[in-house]
Chain A
């Protein structure tokens, strides 16, 4: 045995040893993050589940809380409310957000970039601020849209605005105002992934902008529209801030349990029924989980390669 081959064998051996060690290179970097992922992602879900299937004294109750909350007179109306609201918002997204993104993309230049920014700006007011701004926007006496409220809808007093049948539209408008800009930017980015040559070829063929938008670009971003809808569905069903603040602004004039999350909040904080509140929370969690599962499994965009 020459010395070279001993070294070579040793080197080879060390390399074999090193490979598993090399595989573990990333581990130390995720260590600070893991407690958060587990403690604030997984544990709350497990806790909610545990509370949902037990009673106040800790005894097992199985599906009891779920059945009881489902049969509660406030459950169905709240579910209908959020589904209606989410449906309207999703429709607006499909039509208006996609439409605006396509319109912007038809002539991509500094002007359309400026428009994109203007659309995106209300996103800074997400949360309570946007609801408060829209409380003003919906007051016929001060709103710049006053002429529309009075002229088109015949509303002259603020108290006439937040009626039960108007609420899903009002909240959808607020959600659209705050969130459309961000989605337009995302859709625009998706449109940018369409190779230019295809668009050029279509133009050469004599296709007008509308045809290109509807027949060419739209099918190519179908996937993205799908994600947007799924995410919006999951987020919309969790709505809380808008109906909560509207309730305050109308002097408790709308249902304090208009949305599912509000209902869960009432159960927890007004009636002290943590177990029932947990059951409703688990219902909402399941909606979110289903949406997440659909998005993750149906796309390689989020695959763990």
Chain B
């Protein structure tokens, strides 16, 4: 043997020593049973709880832990199935096969999650009727409760209401002499003018994964309508769908409606900081967290305007983007179930005033009407807005179109792949939309629905 052993001997010892040091340092450094936001160890006289939360809600969960030092809480951060991810299915399935390990409470960003969680083979969501007191539920709007009700069972409790409003840059609108539009047609007309005289400014984004909700849900296009017999209507050729596509197509071609998303990392640089956002159909929770924090639009410019109507229609319908359902495990009972419920109630009924720099301040309108008023008041007081956005938001709550059902699969990935992806390469919104509808049909069938065109 040559001197390889010698070479290895010297550097090998170093490697082993380093590795040993690292393992001691890191392994000794981590707390026992993983991740916990526990306060001073007071035992678990108040019970124990495993909570799955997304990173946005985590400060609120941490606040519960601090306020309840007698409860042992194990907090796990997960993706919340944002944008249509399927982490939830994987987790619950693993718990089911292992026969243990279910989280007591889960927070989801996906309104679809409670629906499939409630069904076979997942069978995870608990029936909250009778578990959460009627006194609390009284403060939730009928629409909100309806979205969480399947076959008479209340399977989730929404954290916030997220109707869509029209965010407008009143400063720029004044500068360009535009009037705030009340209909989609007026909005499109402004867009046409912007393309001619104020190139570079935008009036909407199509690249968000929920783009379909902002435009097609708002215009009552039947892309996810559960019928009374259980069939799912997906009709992309319905008048409401095609007229919206025809309205959007020239705006997309002109570049006033862009195929980027407010979440794209290049958005602030291109339109946010540079103050190029003239109008933006968007969710309620865009208010501070998206407009100010994510997009970095300068302050004193934006406010919320009423959702747009179609033509001469007297009734205004709008879309919805989210709602943050809390789900409780079906495998809990008795005192554990009561603890779970009290946790969820605490989380949804806590009020923390804006601005967002306040710990645990809510980015979105609370579903609990009792604190919603205070939240709106604090929102209206924010110096970031050019005018109080509260009134438009309040009005929009009652205008969410009820014909768009919540199904077991998410349509968001298909919008991202087909429409956003398509528009990144070409300009034919109509064909991308058709592809989107086609994929929706296939997804629905794969999920077990009978599709009615």
Contact = CB atoms under 8 A, between A and B. Distances in A.
Interface in B412-453: 412-413, 416-417, 420-421, 424-425, 442, 446
B263 A139 contact: no
Contact of A163 (B85, B413, B425): B425
Nearest to B264: A159
Interface stretch (B55-63, B86-94, B290-298, B314-322): B86-94
Contacts of A164: 417, 421
A258 B417 CA distance: 11
A254 interface: yes
B260 interface: yes
Contact of A252 (B265, B269, B416, B446): B416
B294 to A, nearest CB: 13
B121 A272 contact: yes
Contacts of B90: 269-270
A157 B417 contact: no
A134 interface: no
A141 interface: yes
Interface residues of B, number: 31
Q: Which of B260, B413, B442 has the most CB of A within 10 A?
A: B413
Interface of B: 82-86, 89-90, 93, 121-122, 207, 209, 259-261, 263-266, 269-270, 412-413, 416-417, 420-421, 424-425, 442, 446
Contacts of A255: 413, 417
A256 interface: yes
Contacts, number: 69
Given A158-B266, A272-B93, A251 B260 contact: no
A157 B89 contact: no
A141 B269 contact: yes
Contacts of A133: none
A271 B425 contact: no
A157 B266 contact: yes
Given A141-B269, A158-B265, A252 B84 contact: yes
B260 A266 contact: no
Nearest to A165: B425
B83 A141 contact: no
- Specify the main secondary structure of chain A where it touches its partner: loop
A157 B260 contact: yes
A113 to B, nearest CB: 15
B85 A248 contact: yes
- List the 6 shortest-distance A-B pairs measured between CB atoms, nearest first: A252-B413, A253-B416, A269-B90, A252-B83, A251-B83, A270-B89
Nearest to A256: B413
A158 B413 CA distance: 17
Nearest to A72: B446
A159 B260 contact: yes
A45 to B, nearest CB: 20
Interface in A263-281: 266, 269-272
Contacts of B93: 269, 272
Interface string A60-83: 000000000000010000000000
Contact of B424 (A159, A251, A270, A272): A159
Nearest to A255: B417
Nearest to A248: B85
